[in-house]
Amino acid sequence: MAPSGTIAAGGLSKAPSAARVDWVDYAKGICIVMVVMMHSVLGVELAAGETGFMHVAVAFAKPFRMPDFFLISGLFLPLVIDRDWRTYLDRKVVHFAYFYVVWVTIQFGFKAPAFAAATSWHDAGFLYLESFIEPFGTLWFIYLLPIFFVVTKLTRRAPPLAIWLAAAALETARISTGWTAIDEFCARFVYFYSGYLFAPYVFALSDRARKHPALALAALAAWALVNAGLVACGASEWKIVSLALGFAGACAIITTGTLLARAHWCNFLRFCGEQSIVIYLAFFLPMATTRTLLLRAGIIPDIGTVSLIVTIVGVVGSLAIWQAALRLNAGFLFERPDAFWIAPKKAGPVLQAAE
């Protein structure tokens, strides 16, 4: 997940936009907006003690919101999985570890006073240390990605079908240990591995949607009806059904991204996809601030409207933080400094969506 102009293989990429895959950015843009929406809506509703109209959109997206993100994250892995271990670990482990450490420290800095007031500063310090084995807050995604990358490389000589079946079995087993990394690994690895394993078929799906937009729209309409119906009746949580809906939803987002790219519509979504990791890292601050201000002020009585505003501010505010960081010489927030590279930087154009 490396946005062009933001975090590529460890820093601010200067690669031209032509090196990117347009529909991938659109798909990632849709996904990151859905992620911000989920955290914003559920946070507002929890604080307010009631639900609003945005809850329907969050529930609709639940079966495929993270499966699609993980599938796309594995999509370009076949291009780089045979790199030497030093380079691979630099791009796929140190890269994400750096930003996890920076941003878990920032997030914790904002929340530590409340933790300390509820318990003690000693307990708050212990909680910070614990965040390196138990992912903190919204950052669990970039905590888990390096694990997926390492496991996939370690098992690349194993029979792919066996790995896929084992991963699918873990998803349907509904593992619940209470440890986020373990539970989310079991629930999500099948989608990441599928992106890696079935990348040619994913690109073929996109090509077909681009060539046959009317058929693609009809398929999307059918999918939306089925997904909504299964969510409404609670069947989307059933074993096997959830796995199928995860893949169906991922295909739907890929198709939607392709159609938007084909028509050159909603360029803001494409931009969000290019900057997806920036949004993911920074949205918590404008989101939480706006939620607190609006609920305390009480000037907007409708919870759904509050949730929508918080979502928009979460997305736009994170991009504003990124721009401010660049102008204030705080680029280390979104760019890995040279001191934290363990392999030489690559040169030349790259497929930015792969990194």
Other C-beta atoms lying within 10 Å of the C-beta of residue 119: 12
Whether the predicted pLDDT of 349 surpasses 60: no
Length of the chain: 355
**pLDDT tens-digit series, residues 260-309:** 999 999 999 999 999 999 999 999 999 999 999 999 999 999 999 999 99
The 3-class SS string of the chain reads: CCCCCCECCCCECCCCHHHCCHHHHHHHHHHHHHHHHHHHHHHHHHHHCCCCCHHHHHHHHCCCHHHHHHHHHCCCHHHCCCCCHHHHHHHHHHHHHHHHHHHHHHHHHHHHHHHHHHCCHHHHHHHHHHCCCCCCHHHHHHHHHHHHHHHHHHCCCCCHHHHHHHHHHHHHHCCCCCCHHHHHHHHHHHHHHHHHHCHHHHHHHHHHHHHCHHHHHHHHHHHHHHHHHHHHHCHHHCCCHHHHHHHHHHHHHHHHHHHHHHHCCCHHHHHHHHCHHHHHHHCHHHHHHHHHHHHHHCCCCCHHHHHHHHHHHHHHHHHHHHHHHHHCCCHHHCCCCHHHCCCCCCCCCCCHHHC
- Mean pLDDT along residues 146-171: 97
**pLDDT tens-digit series, residues 332-347:** 999 999 999 999 886 4
Provide the whole-model pTM.
Answer: 0.90
Buried b (16+ CB within 10 A) or exposed e, 237-251: eeeeebbebbbbbbb
pLDDT of residue 323: 96
Whether the predicted pLDDT of 329 surpasses 90: yes
pLDDT of residue 118: 85
For the chain, give percent helix, strand, coil, nearest 5. Answer: 75, 0, 25
Confidence of residue 142 (pLDDT cuts 50, 70, 90): very high
Whether the predicted pLDDT of 321 surpasses 70: yes
The Cα 292–Cα 146 span in angstroms is: 33
pLDDT of residue 11: 38
pLDDT of residue 7: 37
Whether the predicted pLDDT of 249 surpasses 50: yes
pLDDT of residue 5: 33
Cβ-contact 19, 346 below 8 angstroms: no
Cβ-contact 161, 193 below 8 angstroms: no
Handedness of CA 71, 68, 9, 96 (dihedral sign): negative
pLDDT of residue 306: 97
Place of tokens 């890292």: 281
Cβ-based neighbours of 47, under 8 Å, separated by 6 or more: 291, 292, 295
**pLDDT tens-digit series, residues 6-58:** 333 333 333 333 358 999 999 999 999 999 999 999 999 999 999 999 999 99
Place of tokens 């799906």: 205
The alpha carbons of the chain give a radius of gyration, in whole angstroms, of 20
**pLDDT tens-digit series, residues 182-240:** 999 999 999 999 999 999 999 999 999 999 999 999 999 999 999 999 999 999 999 99
pLDDT of residue 214: 97
- Residue 242 token pair: 């959830």
Handedness of CA 27, 33, 36, 37 (dihedral sign): negative
